[in-house]
Homo-oligomer: A and B are copies of this chain.
Amino acid sequence: SLNIRLAVIPGDGIGREVVAEGLKVLDAVGLKLETTTYDLGAARYHATGETLPDETLAELRGFDAILLGAVGDPSVPPGVLERELLLRLRFELDHYVNLRPVKLFPGVETPIAAARPEDIDMIVIREGTEGPYAGAGGIMRRGTAQEIATQESFNTAYGVERVVRYAFDKAVARPRKKLTLVHKTNVLTYAGDLWSRVFERVSAEYPEVTTDYCHMDAASMFFVTQPQRFDVVVTDNLFGDILTDLGAAVAGGIGLAASGNVNPSPKGSESWAPSMFEPVHGSAPDIAGQGKADPTATILSVAMLLDHLGLAEEAARVEQAVADDLIGRQTVWAQRSTREIGDDITARVTG
């Protein structure tokens, strides 16, 4: 069988704990697996000042995939690890598809009173390499009454078209075949104009897909009041960031939300680079080291990783183990530690 070479970046806070459980489940799937762990994150930054050395980045390019826990720590100034490590990985490895399912598993409690699992089953496709995340901008007259700070969103036809096309491909393969573009075209008129035109143009190639447009503010409302409106959603980097945390809340909590930073280029092509899978949640320093974190989001990210590597059957087994574990939580209430949840899901994968 396939030999998988996996790079593991546990990162900060609960990142380490949840990644350990993700790897446990991955091991149980029974593949030939070689893992290499990278100690990137706050500790490394404090010890050496390094966030992502160029040699490390070059090494990472050689793996089949990357599993990441979480990055960020209050001891590091805001943005340093996020921009220089996490976002740098997404940008350098050209993870232009940030794939984030928003799915309410049976048995999971949602804060939304009226929602049933069949109402919340969508995939948010967040652009991952441009938009307001470009890091462009500046500050002038810092610290004075005349200070100005700018922050620029860069959007390219190249960048928008490839993610929009990916979204149409996803939508056409799903039973509902519905794709919603979320933006704020009535205010962000330049970026919005580009996104709308590209969306419109590509849609002509997918006559089977029902398309829809929703302003970001209205979409946030509908995620809560009418989640069944959505099947596949495509949106920019910042709107996608916000919508997927909201989606996680609606689908039972950030402890269950998985994600893939995907470079969809065919392996072997020049633009290929390893994709990176990570839970949507952050490093949660307040509960780090206490065994309180739910590793389910990481385990579901492992399922996405398997699926991305073409191991659909293995992916389905992991997802089914999680689904069964989630159903179980409804009937047998028990406070389980991070490790216990990981063990229980692992047992279901092997059993």
Contacts and interface: CB of A to CB of B under 8 A. Distances in A.
Contacts of A243: 220
A309 interface: no
Given A79-B185, A154-B148, A246 B225 contact: no
Interface stretch (A3-11, A42-50, A58-66, A111-119): A111-119
Interface string A230-250: 000000001001111110111
A184 interface: yes
B191 A149 contact: yes
Number of copies: 2
Interface in A148-167: 148-158, 161
A82 B215 CA distance: 13
Interface in A210-267: 216-218, 220-222, 224-225, 238, 241-246, 248-250, 253-254
Interface stretch (A21-29, A135-143, A172-180): A135-143
6 contacts: A78-B185, A111-B114, A146-B158, A148-B154, A148-B156, A151-B153
Interface of A: 72, 78-79, 82-83, 87, 110-114, 132-133, 135, 137-139, 141, 143-158, 161, 184-194, 196-197, 216-218, 220-222, 224-225, 238, 241-246, 248-250, 253-254, 282
